[in-house]
Structure 1
Amino acid sequence: MAKWKKPVGRPFLALRGHTYYARLTVPEDVREFFGKTELWQTLKTKNLKDAEYRASRIVTEWKAQIETYRGNVGVAHRALEWRKILEDERRKDAVLIEKFTRQHGYKPTLARDVDELGLGTQQMVYSDELERIYHEEGPDAMRRFADIVEGILLPTPTHVDEYLSSLSVESRTKQQREHHLDLLNKRFPALPVKRSDVTKWIMEMEQQSLAENTIKARVGTCRGYFEFLQRLDYLNPDEANPFEGHKFTSKRKASKQDLRQAFEVSDVPRLIDAAKNKPRKDPNLVAAITIAAYTGMRREEIARLKVAHVKERDGIRFFDIIDAKTKAGLREVPVHSELAALVDELVEKSSDGYLLPGESVTKNGERGDAVGKRFKTLRDGLGFDGRYVFHSIRKTVSTLFERASVSHNEAAEIVGHEKTGMTYSLYSAGMSLVQKQRIIQKITYMRVN
């Protein structure tokens, strides 16, 4: 039986007897789909030039199938694959031409020399691919494909990871922007794009009744990514940013049914009692609701409170909130008299340094997510609809302050809102703990039996 021979410098060819075969090693991550480690197919020729041409077409189809199994089927991905193939061939051909020239004293310009060296084989297959795209998808699709291959257009996802790594934002915000750029890639696989095309995209989103802020956030992320690409010269820095300066006309009117509601003052004790009476004890949920009820703190602020954050100064115990959603959220909140015994118990029984011990942390770094889900189950059991969330307790606290004639800026220092007015927001050192303690004691709940 004839032995296999593998021509030097031609990894996708094998010769058996007088017949050439196409061959490709199957990557390990997709071998289960093919059921084999190598792919082989006879080329039915003994001519090397014909064999190279036929093998290139077959191997290209095999590689496309591999990428399909991997989930990489986009136009941009295929175009980048072709860019790499052609760049590799140009480098290989340059070496062959230089070697031939040294040996013969002239460059290989004759057809027989080109055929013998196998120059430009992949370029011929690429021309066939462009012709196929032209007939199957149209001239515009062919031009876009060719522009990516030739480097005129930049595949949208090429530098997304680099851009996201450059951002100094919270994990959740980074995930939102990654989602926005995924939508951008689905709409525009390559950049730059025409401003008019971006306008059409915005109009389509408006027709989907998306909230104006949602559309603005998506376009804003795209604008920032485009600016990033220009700053690093991945795109022409002198070109106008097509995502800039758009007008938004979709202003969906807010319905009262859509707005988050504050719990009634009498509802808060019901929530606390229901949490205490759960068949399966949940002390963390009880503590979270109770602390929120007497401080107005956000769920995540409570979940991140550590034993070390319970401090005392001038005879007043307080929560030192050093990890908050906003700058205004960094504050000191006195411990309400109704919380004193609970806080003592939480400090004493903490097993991991947190007031709410043992809570899992999400990939976004949030400790309060599971508490929020358990609160939702509790809420549903009491008959409240989706307008009522954990944050609704915070709204109730704000309502109590307003009814007790507490000013906006005083309440803001307790709940962690921005203060109004330049004098207070820029120059004031804030209220003393004594003043805050006086205000926080205005939070009272009447139980309705």
Structure 2
Amino acid sequence: MPDNLIQKKGESTWYVRMAVPPYAQDALGRKVLVQSLKTGLRREAMHLRLSILDAWKAQIKSIRDGVPMPADWQDNFLTRLHDIDQLVTKSQMDAMRGVEIDTSEPTDQELETFAKLGPEIISILTDIHRIREQQPRGDFRFMEDMGQFSKLLAKAKLTSGHNVTPEQDAEAYALIADPASHKARSPITTARLKTYREFRESRGGAPKHVDQQVGKMKRLSDFLKKEGLPLNFDTVDAWLKSLDRAPATLGQYLMAGTAFWKWAMKYDAVWREEYKDKVNPFIGHELPQDGGSEIAGQSREIYTRDDTLKLHQAALKNNDQPLADLITLGWYTGGRIEELCRLTKDSVITVDGIRCFDFPRSKSKASKRVVPIHPSLLSIVDRLSNDSTDSYLIPIKAVGPYGKRSHAISKAFSRLRIAAGFSKLHVFHSFRHTIVTELIRADVPDALAKELVGHETGSVTHDVYSKGASTKQKLAAISKLPTLTTDAT
């Protein structure tokens, strides 16, 4: 049965069948797994069986390897150790008051359960009963020994079925010996962050924004765990100082923290009870006026014509034609990198007899614009259109996170400019600064320059009432940009 398909006698329905390895039979409670595929067509059954077989194999693998320990297992284990200590103390107090203590031996069923947890547990249980026979009823030493046994039993139950690393095993024993040795755990747990993420996503949060918010809280959680600190104003202040970020970036971290705090106080009952008398630790911070990134607060540099030629030639030398073309598009349009990577053959339109780029809306209403193609760029646009295999003008091997087409080529540009000796203030977005500068120096009106690069003018008259410059006026303005000697490339 190499394809794992069977038909039962007298039935036309196909079933998928797989034998269970001996080591997984107890856990699954069967020796063979069988499930109906609810079809009599073999070809369809061959396809349907695959996902079921994959799920079975993954389940068996987890039984064989054991699942990883939960991220916050120490917290749960410490709670159990505390409960055991409380029970031991209660037993001792009851004994002092003459209350009868249950010292009956475990049942056969309990012994069988203990045996599944390993020979160590049976050995300890045997020692406990030997000690009990030598001690008078209600002896405190016996109670403490039983408490110790209960802790070891709790450890065995905790680790049973999990893939426990040597470090985790040693840490569990250390917690039994001295619970105080454990640093304070972060209240921003993995489970809590998962719930928070699901909440934000259910409210229509953009994936990238949700990832950023959750990521900031995870970094805070890691800091609290590493330093063994509680969550309060002082620890948030220490965390901010450890980040070494610009003031604006630190402000974003505080806003992320406040958003998480408000969610937890409203939707997390345990958090709400624990922090009911506490003030939001993310408010009231005085952020530094300088510091952070070495380029924080500094304006981006522009690329000169010679700079652009240098980058273009470097890209060609690296046999990276798409990057060279992207640089050319940046010089002649000032478009955002993601806008340029999303241009397709259909983005090239003709308005009033003039060929233009129809830029889709990206960051703002003004980003939706029609810009005439610079005369020196027309032949390159024709080549990109003819060579396109997926309608996009700039070919991309793989789309990045959040569907960004510019992800990989943006990193390639960063490597290129660094290798060419440009500063951190020179980025692809610098082309936008360059184009605005060149247009203004060519006496192009400010409102028209902003219209060409997709900026709002800030004028109600222009942004609300005006339909903007004519296509002919735009072409005359864009044609004033200096040409590159590589136009024929």
Other-structure match for 1:267: 307
In structure 2, what is the equivalent of residue 12 of structure 1? none
Among 160, 165, 168, the residue aligned to 2:196: 160
**2:417 match:** 379
Q: 1:30 to 1:267 in 2, by over 3 A?
A: same
Equivalent residue letter for 1:361 = V
1:294-305 to structure 2, matched below 5 A, reads: 294-305=332-343
Structure-1 residue corresponding to 2:18: none
In structure 2, the residue corresponding to 1:266 is in which secondary structure? helix
**Match of residue 61 from structure 1:** 155
What residue ranges of structure 1 are gaps of 5+ in the alignment?
1-24, 79-128
Mean Cα deviation higher: 410-419 or 160-169: 160-169
Q: C-alpha deviations, 1:294-324, integer Å up to 9, x for none?
A: 0001111111112222222221222222252
- Which residue pairs with 1:106 in the alignment? none
Q: Work out whether 1:369 is the aligned partner of 2:369.
A: no
Separation in 1 of the partners of 2:462 and 2:454? Answer: 14
What per-residue deviation string (whole Å, max 9, x for no partner) do you get for residues 82-128 of structure 1? xxxxxxxxxxxxxxxxxxxxxxxxxxxxxxxxxxxxxxxxxxxxxxx
Shift of the alpha carbon at 1:263?
Answer: 1.3
Shift of 1:69: 4.0
**Alpha-carbon contact 2:216-2:256 (below 8 Å) kept:** yes
The one-letter code of the counterpart of 1:224 is A
Matched, 1:212 2:218: no
Distance, in Å, in 2 between the alignment partners of 1:399 and 1:358 is: 30
**8 Å CA contact 2:344, 2:391 repeated in 1:** yes
**Does structure 1 residue 283 correspond to structure 2 residue 321?**
yes
Question: Aligned residue for 2:213?
Answer: 177
Relative to 1, partners in 2 of residues 1:444 and 1:71: Cα closer, same or farther, differing over 3 Å?
Answer: farther
2:233 to 183, 198, 204: 198
Q: Residues of 2 paired with 1:433 and 1:272: CA distance?
A: 29
In structure 1, the residue corresponding to 2:305 is in which secondary structure?
coil
Structure 2 residue 412 is matched with structure 1 residue 318: no
Distance 2:61 2:421 in 1: 57
SS of the equivalent of 1:406 reads coil
**Residues 354-398 of structure 1: per-residue CA shift (max 9 Å, x gap):** 111243111232211222233234334433233322222222112
Aligned CA distance change for structure 1 residues 194 and 349 (closer, same or farther; 3 Å): same
Residue in structure 2 matched with residue 436 of structure 1 by the alignment? 474
Superposition map of 1:290-439 within 5 A: 290-439=328-477
For the Cα contact (< 8 Å) 1:181–1:222, is it kept in 2?
A: yes
User: Which range moves more in the overlay, 58-67 or 320-329?
Assistant: 58-67
Which string of whole-angstrom CA distances, capped at 9 and with x for unpartnered residues, describes residues 386-428 of structure 1? 3322222222112101212334332222212232234434444
Aligned equivalent of 2:222:
186
For residues 152 and 62 of structure 2, the distance between their equivalents in structure 1, rounded to whole angstroms, comes to: 16
CA distance in 1, matches of 2:358, 2:208: 24
Contact 2:348 2:358 in 1 (8 A): yes
Q: Which moved more, 1:351-360 or 1:319-328?
A: 319-328
Letter in 2 for 1:271: L
RMSD of the TM alignment (CA)? 4.3
Q: State the shift of 1:335 in Å.
A: 1.3
Q: Distance in 2 between matches of 1:29 and 1:236?
A: 40
Matched, 1:224 2:259: yes
The verdict on how the C-alpha distance between 1:31 and 1:233 changes in structure 2, with shifts beyond 3 A counting, is closer
Structure-to-structure mapping, 1:45-124, within 5 angstroms: 56-62=150-156, 69=164
Question: Alignment identity in percent?
Answer: 25
Inter-partner Cα distance in structure 2 for 1:26 and 1:445: 63
For the 8 Å contact 2:345–2:385, the answer to whether it is kept is yes
Q: Shift of the alpha carbon at 1:325?
A: 3.5
Q: Retained in 2: the 8 A contact 1:209–1:250?
A: no
Deviation at 1:264, TM superposition (A): 1.7
Distance in 1, Cα, partners of 2:442 & 2:250? 39
Contact 1:303/1:356, CA 8 A, preserved across alignment? yes
Letter of the 1:264 partner, please give it.
T
CA shift, 1:288, in A, is 0.7
Alignment match, 2:79: none
CA distance in 2, matches of 1:212, 1:186: 21
Residue 255 and residue 219 in structure 1: after superposition, are their counterparts in 2 closer, same or farther (change >3 A)? closer
Q: Please, which runs of 5 or more residues in structure 2 have no aligned partner? A: 1-59, 70-115, 133-141
Deviations 1:269-300 (A, max 9, x none): 33333333x253x2211221111110001111
Is the contact between residue 285 and residue 375 of structure 1 (CA under 8 Å) also seen in structure 2?
yes
The answer as to whether partners of 1:269 and 1:445 remain within 8 angstroms in 2 is no
**Is the aligned partner of 1:250 residue 2:288?**
yes
- Distance of aligned partners of 1:377 and 1:158 in 2 relative to their CA distance in 1, 3 Å threshold: closer
**How far does residue 54 in structure 1 lie from its aligned partner after superposition?**
6.6
Distance 1:302 1:170, change over 3 A: farther
Rounded to whole Å, the distance in 2 between the matches of 1:70 and 1:366 is 38
